[in-house]
Amino acid sequence: MSEQSLGEFEELVLLVVAANNSEAYGVLILEQLSAKLDKKLNISAIHVVLKRMENKGYVESSFGGITNERGGRRKKYYSITSLGKRVLDRQYELRTSIYQQIPKISFGQ
């Protein structure tokens, strides 16, 4: 587990990548995340996390075709790897299993 760590922000980005599998690229992730979190994010923060996860092997990337948008630069699409999926699943299981242990707590108003 210690080898395959996943930070909170990394997890969020990985989720977005998985949700838009092989359609996800920098700006798209940025827009979706800032909409969900209702918070301004910087593109380079996304880049940092993407590159880090690519090094860890959670995501892989490939270039799209050349279009007229973006000053002619290609998009780089990210998709989740099977390792990434496993890490994500484990994270999810871990959370839900602990969450389910929470007894019914009443906070009586």
88 half-sphere exposure, CB direction, 13 A CA radius: 21
Residues 58-97 interacting with other proteins (rule: CB under 8 A):
63, 69-71, 73-76
| Token pair 């973006």 in the structure block, residue | 70
Min CB(104)–other proteins separation in Å: 45
CA distance 64 to 25: 10
Min CB(63)–other proteins separation in Å: 8
- Answer for the pair 74, 66: CB distance below 8 angstroms, yes or no: yes
- Alpha-carbon torsion 74, 78, 79, 81, what sign? positive
Size of the site for other proteins (CB under 8 A): 20
Mask for 1-40, x = binds other proteins (CB under 8 A): ------------------------xxx--x----------
Min CB(72)–other proteins separation in Å: 9
